[in-house]
Amino acid sequence: MLNSEFWVDGPNGQGFHRVGNFWYWYTFTEGEFHRRYFFSNMDGSSQNGWYQIFTTRDGRFEDSTMAVAETVGWARVTVEEDKLRFFYKMPTEYGIGDILLTNLISGVGNAYGVPGNKDGLTLLQTDNRCFAVWYGYGEKGDIWKYKAANQTQRWWLCSGFQVDQDYLLKVREAVNGTWRCFYTPNEEHCGLGDDNIGLLLTPVGDSFRVTYNTTMGTGFVLMKPLL
Protein backbone atom coordinates (compact mmCIF):
# COMPACT_ATOMS: atom_id res chain seq x y z
CA MET A 1 0.00 0.00 0.00
CA LEU A 2 1.11 3.57 -0.75
CA ASN A 3 0.39 6.89 0.92
CA SER A 4 -3.06 7.96 -0.24
CA GLU A 5 -4.69 11.39 0.18
CA PHE A 6 -7.81 13.17 -1.00
CA TRP A 7 -7.49 16.89 -1.68
CA VAL A 8 -10.52 19.06 -2.48
CA ASP A 9 -11.21 22.36 -4.21
CA GLY A 10 -13.66 23.85 -1.71
CA PRO A 11 -17.34 23.19 -2.56
CA ASN A 12 -16.80 22.84 -6.30
CA GLY A 13 -17.45 19.11 -6.46
CA GLN A 14 -14.06 18.31 -7.95
CA GLY A 15 -11.04 16.87 -6.23
CA PHE A 16 -7.69 15.16 -6.45
CA HIS A 17 -6.67 11.74 -5.22
CA ARG A 18 -2.91 11.43 -4.74
CA VAL A 19 -1.63 7.85 -4.62
CA GLY A 20 2.12 7.79 -4.11
CA ASN A 21 3.37 10.31 -6.67
CA PHE A 22 0.45 9.82 -9.04
CA TRP A 23 -2.28 12.46 -9.13
CA TYR A 24 -5.81 11.60 -10.25
CA TRP A 25 -7.99 14.63 -10.93
CA TYR A 26 -11.76 14.20 -11.15
CA THR A 27 -13.63 17.25 -12.38
CA PHE A 28 -16.14 18.51 -14.95
CA THR A 29 -16.24 19.82 -18.49
CA GLU A 30 -16.17 23.54 -19.10
CA GLY A 31 -19.64 24.91 -19.77
CA GLU A 32 -21.24 21.43 -19.81
CA PHE A 33 -22.75 19.14 -17.20
CA HIS A 34 -20.44 16.16 -17.73
CA ARG A 35 -17.56 14.56 -15.87
CA ARG A 36 -13.88 14.62 -16.87
CA TYR A 37 -10.76 13.11 -15.33
CA PHE A 38 -7.01 13.40 -15.76
CA PHE A 39 -3.90 11.79 -14.28
CA SER A 40 -0.24 12.70 -13.90
CA ASN A 41 2.87 10.84 -12.73
CA MET A 42 4.91 13.34 -10.70
CA ASP A 43 7.64 10.81 -10.05
CA GLY A 44 8.72 10.59 -13.66
CA SER A 45 10.67 12.86 -15.94
CA SER A 46 9.74 16.53 -15.97
CA GLN A 47 10.44 19.71 -17.89
CA ASN A 48 11.71 22.24 -15.35
CA GLY A 49 9.45 20.77 -12.66
CA TRP A 50 6.37 20.40 -14.88
CA TYR A 51 4.87 16.93 -15.40
CA GLN A 52 2.65 15.70 -18.21
CA ILE A 53 -1.12 15.48 -17.73
CA PHE A 54 -2.96 12.65 -19.47
CA THR A 55 -6.60 11.84 -20.14
CA THR A 56 -8.55 9.35 -22.23
CA ARG A 57 -11.11 9.53 -25.00
CA ASP A 58 -13.55 7.29 -26.87
CA GLY A 59 -14.22 4.86 -24.01
CA ARG A 60 -17.45 2.95 -23.42
CA PHE A 61 -18.73 1.48 -20.17
CA GLU A 62 -19.12 -1.96 -21.73
CA ASP A 63 -15.70 -1.85 -23.44
CA SER A 64 -13.07 0.47 -21.98
CA THR A 65 -10.39 -1.08 -24.22
CA MET A 66 -11.71 1.24 -26.93
CA ALA A 67 -10.35 4.24 -25.01
CA VAL A 68 -7.21 6.04 -26.14
CA ALA A 69 -4.84 7.84 -23.75
CA GLU A 70 -3.53 11.25 -24.79
CA THR A 71 -1.42 14.08 -23.39
CA VAL A 72 -3.31 17.31 -22.75
CA GLY A 73 -0.89 19.52 -20.80
CA TRP A 74 1.48 19.99 -17.88
CA ALA A 75 1.15 20.30 -14.10
CA ARG A 76 3.18 20.95 -10.96
CA VAL A 77 2.34 21.15 -7.24
CA THR A 78 3.70 23.48 -4.56
CA VAL A 79 3.19 23.49 -0.77
CA GLU A 80 1.58 26.49 0.97
CA GLU A 81 1.54 25.87 4.73
CA ASP A 82 -1.08 23.11 5.21
CA LYS A 83 -2.44 23.40 1.67
CA LEU A 84 -1.25 22.53 -1.82
CA ARG A 85 -1.46 24.58 -4.98
CA PHE A 86 -1.96 22.66 -8.23
CA PHE A 87 -0.73 24.55 -11.31
CA TYR A 88 -1.86 23.48 -14.77
CA LYS A 89 -1.12 24.40 -18.38
CA MET A 90 -3.76 22.76 -20.59
CA PRO A 91 -4.22 24.72 -23.84
CA THR A 92 -6.93 22.47 -25.26
CA GLU A 93 -8.83 22.05 -21.98
CA TYR A 94 -8.85 24.70 -19.21
CA GLY A 95 -6.04 27.01 -20.28
CA ILE A 96 -3.49 28.12 -17.67
CA GLY A 97 -4.27 28.50 -13.97
CA ASP A 98 -3.96 27.10 -10.48
CA ILE A 99 -6.18 25.56 -7.79
CA LEU A 100 -5.66 25.82 -4.02
CA LEU A 101 -6.33 22.45 -2.39
CA THR A 102 -7.28 21.45 1.16
CA ASN A 103 -6.61 17.97 2.54
CA LEU A 104 -9.80 16.01 3.18
CA ILE A 105 -8.53 12.64 4.41
CA SER A 106 -5.30 10.62 4.45
CA GLY A 107 -4.57 6.91 4.64
CA VAL A 108 -3.08 4.17 2.52
CA GLY A 109 -4.19 2.82 -0.82
CA ASN A 110 -3.38 2.19 -4.45
CA ALA A 111 -4.72 2.49 -7.97
CA TYR A 112 -6.34 -0.62 -9.47
CA GLY A 113 -7.41 -1.55 -12.96
CA VAL A 114 -7.50 -4.19 -15.66
CA PRO A 115 -4.23 -4.14 -17.64
CA GLY A 116 -4.87 -2.69 -21.08
CA ASN A 117 -8.15 -1.04 -20.08
CA LYS A 118 -8.45 2.73 -19.63
CA ASP A 119 -10.58 2.69 -16.50
CA GLY A 120 -10.20 1.62 -12.88
CA LEU A 121 -10.41 2.95 -9.35
CA THR A 122 -8.21 4.67 -6.79
CA LEU A 123 -8.54 3.52 -3.20
CA LEU A 124 -7.92 5.02 0.24
CA GLN A 125 -8.19 2.98 3.43
CA THR A 126 -8.14 4.34 6.96
CA ASP A 127 -9.01 2.07 9.90
CA ASN A 128 -12.01 0.03 8.70
CA ARG A 129 -13.26 2.75 6.34
CA CYS A 130 -12.73 2.87 2.60
CA PHE A 131 -13.00 5.67 0.07
CA ALA A 132 -12.62 5.30 -3.68
CA VAL A 133 -13.11 7.05 -6.99
CA TRP A 134 -14.26 4.79 -9.82
CA TYR A 135 -13.22 6.08 -13.25
CA GLY A 136 -15.11 4.87 -16.29
CA TYR A 137 -17.33 5.85 -19.19
CA GLY A 138 -20.92 6.37 -20.17
CA GLU A 139 -22.96 3.70 -21.83
CA LYS A 140 -22.82 3.39 -25.61
CA GLY A 141 -26.25 4.97 -25.86
CA ASP A 142 -24.97 8.15 -24.19
CA ILE A 143 -22.86 9.20 -27.16
CA TRP A 144 -25.63 11.21 -28.84
CA LYS A 145 -25.74 13.60 -25.85
CA TYR A 146 -22.19 14.81 -26.18
CA LYS A 147 -20.50 17.37 -28.39
CA ALA A 148 -17.08 15.74 -28.13
CA ALA A 149 -15.90 12.16 -27.71
CA ASN A 150 -13.94 13.03 -24.55
CA GLN A 151 -17.16 13.85 -22.74
CA THR A 152 -18.10 10.18 -22.47
CA GLN A 153 -15.93 10.00 -19.35
CA ARG A 154 -17.68 9.48 -16.01
CA TRP A 155 -16.56 9.04 -12.42
CA TRP A 156 -18.29 7.86 -9.27
CA LEU A 157 -17.50 8.58 -5.61
CA CYS A 158 -17.57 5.52 -3.35
CA SER A 159 -17.41 5.17 0.44
CA GLY A 160 -18.09 2.48 2.95
CA PHE A 161 -16.75 0.08 5.56
CA GLN A 162 -14.86 -3.17 5.86
CA VAL A 163 -16.95 -6.24 6.67
CA ASP A 164 -14.69 -9.20 7.42
CA GLN A 165 -12.21 -9.02 4.51
CA ASP A 166 -14.53 -7.29 2.05
CA TYR A 167 -15.42 -3.64 1.52
CA LEU A 168 -19.02 -2.62 0.93
CA LEU A 169 -19.20 0.76 -0.77
CA LYS A 170 -22.02 3.15 -1.51
CA VAL A 171 -21.81 4.64 -5.00
CA ARG A 172 -22.88 8.15 -5.91
CA GLU A 173 -22.34 10.45 -8.88
CA ALA A 174 -21.96 14.23 -8.94
CA VAL A 175 -24.35 15.72 -11.50
CA ASN A 176 -25.14 19.21 -12.79
CA GLY A 177 -21.61 20.39 -12.10
CA THR A 178 -19.43 22.46 -14.40
CA TRP A 179 -15.77 23.49 -14.39
CA ARG A 180 -15.08 25.78 -11.38
CA CYS A 181 -18.79 26.29 -10.84
CA PHE A 182 -18.32 27.43 -7.22
CA TYR A 183 -21.31 25.58 -5.88
CA THR A 184 -21.79 22.01 -4.75
CA PRO A 185 -23.19 19.81 -7.55
CA ASN A 186 -26.17 17.59 -6.92
CA GLU A 187 -25.57 13.91 -6.18
CA GLU A 188 -27.33 10.87 -7.49
CA HIS A 189 -27.13 7.54 -5.68
CA CYS A 190 -26.16 4.81 -8.14
CA GLY A 191 -25.93 1.70 -5.96
CA LEU A 192 -28.84 -0.72 -6.35
CA GLY A 193 -28.18 -2.72 -3.17
CA ASP A 194 -29.49 -2.06 0.31
CA ASP A 195 -28.52 1.41 1.61
CA ASN A 196 -27.25 2.33 -1.88
CA ILE A 197 -24.43 -0.24 -1.77
CA GLY A 198 -23.10 -0.59 -5.31
CA LEU A 199 -19.57 -2.01 -5.04
CA LEU A 200 -18.21 -5.07 -3.26
CA LEU A 201 -14.41 -5.23 -3.11
CA THR A 202 -13.10 -8.70 -2.30
CA PRO A 203 -9.31 -9.10 -1.85
CA VAL A 204 -7.67 -11.67 -4.13
CA GLY A 205 -3.97 -11.62 -3.26
CA ASP A 206 -2.80 -8.07 -3.95
CA SER A 207 -5.78 -7.47 -6.26
CA PHE A 208 -9.52 -6.91 -5.82
CA ARG A 209 -12.49 -8.66 -7.33
CA VAL A 210 -14.82 -5.72 -7.92
CA THR A 211 -18.48 -6.71 -8.06
CA TYR A 212 -20.74 -3.85 -9.14
CA ASN A 213 -24.49 -3.54 -8.87
CA THR A 214 -25.33 -0.05 -10.10
CA THR A 215 -27.52 1.94 -12.44
CA MET A 216 -24.78 1.45 -15.04
CA GLY A 217 -25.14 -2.32 -14.92
CA THR A 218 -24.15 -5.39 -12.93
CA GLY A 219 -21.12 -7.64 -13.15
CA PHE A 220 -17.63 -8.12 -11.79
CA VAL A 221 -14.04 -7.58 -12.85
CA LEU A 222 -10.64 -8.43 -11.37
CA MET A 223 -8.62 -5.25 -10.85
CA LYS A 224 -4.88 -5.46 -10.25
CA PRO A 225 -2.62 -2.84 -8.62
CA LEU A 226 -1.29 -0.37 -11.17
CA LEU A 227 1.45 1.18 -9.00
| Residue range 46-78, pLDDT digits in tens | 888 999 999 998 787 777 887 888 999 999 999
Q: How many domains does the chain have?
A: 1
pLDDT above 60: residue 33 = yes
- Confidence check: pLDDT of 149 > 60: no
Sign of CA dihedral 191, 193, 195, 198: negative
Report the alpha-carbon distance of residue 21 to residue 89 in Å, rounded: 19
3-state secondary structure of 219: strand
What value does the mean pLDDT take over residues 152-168?
93
Query: What range defines the domain where residue 204 resides?
Result: 2-225
Q: How many CA atoms lie within 13 A of 52 on its CB side?
A: 8
**Range picked from 10-24, 115-129, 163-177, 197-211 for highest mean pLDDT:** 197-211
Residue 174: the pLDDT is 86
User: Using CB atoms within 10 A of its CB, is residue 24 exposed (0-12), middle (13-18) or buried (19+)?
Assistant: buried
Given a contact cutoff of 8 angstroms between Cβ atoms, the answer to whether 60 and 153 are in contact is no
Mean predicted lDDT score pLDDT of the chain: 88
3-state secondary structure of 65: helix
Tell me the chain's radius of gyration from C-alpha atoms.
Answer: 17
pLDDT of residue 112: 97
- Whether the per-residue pLDDT at 142 is higher than 50: the answer is no
